[in-house]
Amino acid sequence: MTRTNLLATATLAAAFALGWSPASWADDAQPAAASQQDTSSTSQSTPSSPQGAPTPAAPMPLPTPSMSGPLQTAVPHEFDGGPFGKLEVTGIVSGMGLTQGNHLPGDNSTHWDISNAQAFIQKTTGWWQFYLQAGAYTLPALGTPFFSAGDTVKDFYTAFPQGYLKLVKGDFSAEIGALPTLIGAEYTFTFENMNIERGLLWNQENAVNKGIQLNYAHKKLSASVSWNDGFYSNRYTWIMGSLTYAFNAANSFSFVAGGNLGHYAKNTFATPLFLNNEEIYNAIYTYTKGSWVVQPYFQYTNVPTAPHVGIPVGASTSGGAVLVTYNFKHGIYLAARPEYISTSGSVASGAANLLYGPGSKAFGFTITPTYTKGDFFARGEFSIVHATDITPGLAFGPAGLSDSQPRGVVEMGFLF
């Protein structure tokens, strides 16, 4: 059986196990669509036209792609997709510049590039829905070399980084395709996050995985479980799960876990050997009220010893971060992210290198002011990474001997 057939069979099996059938999906389709229309029409005013006929409610911003702010998805452009029904399109065009000290071996001190040139098309009503994301992007992250948009698309997730079919039945849904990961508190692309660059903890996490995901959401509780290929490995041996409880409108807590149930020797930019064989755990608290968003989280990862795939001695990481945004109003925001991560092992023991040498540690601090006006945004960023207990040759600077790296970044563009 091919992987495609295996995934399709697993999706159908999961659907019937949850008591779903095509007939029951069809029964739910019309009420679901009506419910979404009612929500949008009551959330904003609907003034009458000069002739007295009511003006249709303007479409509301979509929840996908997910964004933690301060940037928000633009109001979608709707059009008739024929047999697909009503489709909605949004997108982003943005560019960035980066300058850094002590650049890593093989990197440069300055870069100018496209940060995003992406479009998002989706169907969000009915018992079957879909999401498709296409275009160019960069994935800048603290303490790592910068990849151009061309190299990022080629070496990571292609020009179609995310796309999936979604089947909906009441509080349950199933997704199959190239999915955003359940792991971590930060999303993949620059525009989705409080900061332009991803953080030190994100460097241990996967970003996009292909597979199947089952979701359940009811009142204050939401849960997801996913069978996937981990770090884009094309080998479906990873299991991930998340559980979130919302105490009230302002406070929620999530526990997330995932790991590779097998071992695989593949080693590429998108599928790094050590990380693709790890297990990972997150505890994430989120506070959102008034002008504040505060999100502290803890992360632990473990790479087991597996000599047969090239990991003679395993290692682990422990770390924490606090993501904070304050809204000053009038389109002005300020975000900050302090974080710390440590790794186990030593050079003498031959442990896997998960940072800047076995047993190394690093502190990072990022501050990001943002200005938005309509669909336009502009933001700057300063970050510093300071590492300790480094292995010479594996840290910063052209020779890998420096223990710190400062960066300055600017990004501006339009959401449409």
In order, the DSSP letters of 158-179 are -S--EEEEEEEETTEEEEEEEE
Which residues 6+ apart lie within 8 Å of 182 measured at CB? 213, 224, 226, 240, 241, 242, 256, 258
For residue 140, what are its two tokens?
């800048």
For the purposes of burial, counting CB atoms within 10 Å of the CB of 267, is it exposed (0-12), middle (13-18) or buried (19 or more)?
middle
Residues 6+ apart with CB under 8 A from 296: 284, 285, 320, 321, 322, 323
pLDDT per position as a tens digit, 386-405: 999 999 999 999 999 999 99
Alpha helix stretches (DSSP H) within 43-162: 149-155
First to last CA, the chain: 42
Q: pLDDT tens digits, residue range 155-177?
A: 999 999 999 999 999 999 999 99
Q: What is the pLDDT of residues 288-327, one digit of tens each?
A: 999 999 999 999 999 999 999 999 999 999 999 999 999 9
Residues recorded for the chain: 416
pLDDT recorded at residue 62: 81
Residue 4 pLDDT more than 70? no
pLDDT tens-digit series, residues 45-92? 333 333 344 444 445 668 799 999 899 988 999 999 999 999 999 999
Domain coordinates in residue numbering, the chain: 3-30+90-415
Per-residue model confidence as pLDDT tens digits over 330-381? 999 999 999 999 999 999 999 999 999 999 999 999 999 999 999 999 999 9
Q: What is the pLDDT of residues 112-145, one digit of tens each?
A: 999 999 999 999 999 999 999 999 999 999 999 9
Contacts of 154 by beta carbon, 8 Å cutoff, 6+ apart: none
Distance CA 189, CA 197 (A): 9
What pLDDT sits at residue 20?
40
Angstrom distance (rounded) from CA 224 to CA 208? 16
**CATH number assigned to the domain with residue range 3-30+90-415, chosen from the 4 options 3.40.50.300, 3.40.50.620, 3.40.47.40, 2.40.160.10:** 2.40.160.10
Q: What is the pLDDT of residue 106?
A: 87
Task: Tell me the average pLDDT of the chain.
Answer: 88
